[in-house]
Amino acid sequence: MTPQEIRASALDSNQIGSSGLPGVHTKVVFGDPSRPNFYTILLFVPPHTTIQAHSHRDDRIATVVSGEWHFGYGDHFDAKSLKTLPPGSVYSEPGGIGHNHFARTDAEAVIVEISGYGPTDTHYFDARNDPKSRESK
């Protein structure tokens, strides 16, 4: 996809493979993250967003496209454990409950390209942090 085609494509309303937080959006670039196949999504995260510890069932690899992404691994959000990843940085999100990760943005929005082999999902380490569980209350 060209940058123009990406801009023209629709945002994914299902947010599969995303944190599910209000304001965070995804665009499917390739494949279908809800099915057993290779997929690539673009994750758009607005400024001043904190994503609590969560995991995905599939192994994923990510590249920071724009903005400064602060990323860490662990069972709870820990600002001291965040590593600052500028554009061009690559990191992994190992699949499974034992490999939780968290992130934050500062004053600028961040775009991250994430690829994996679906189906993917999102499980929050602490269910109270899951936006879907907050919506159902």
Q: What is the pLDDT of residues 58-69, one digit of tens each?
A: 999 999 999 999
Cα distance between residue 87 and residue 133, in whole Å: 32
Give the other-Cβ count within 10 Å of 18's Cβ: 22
pLDDT digits (tens, 9 = 90+) for 8-54: 777 876 678 888 898 999 999 999 999 999 999 999 999 999 999 99
Structural domains for the chain: 23-132 (2.60.120.10)
SS3 85: strand
Helix (H) or strand (E) holding 47: none
Are 108 and 47 a contacting pair, CB within 8 Å?
yes
The pLDDT assigned to 10 comes to 78
SS3 27: strand
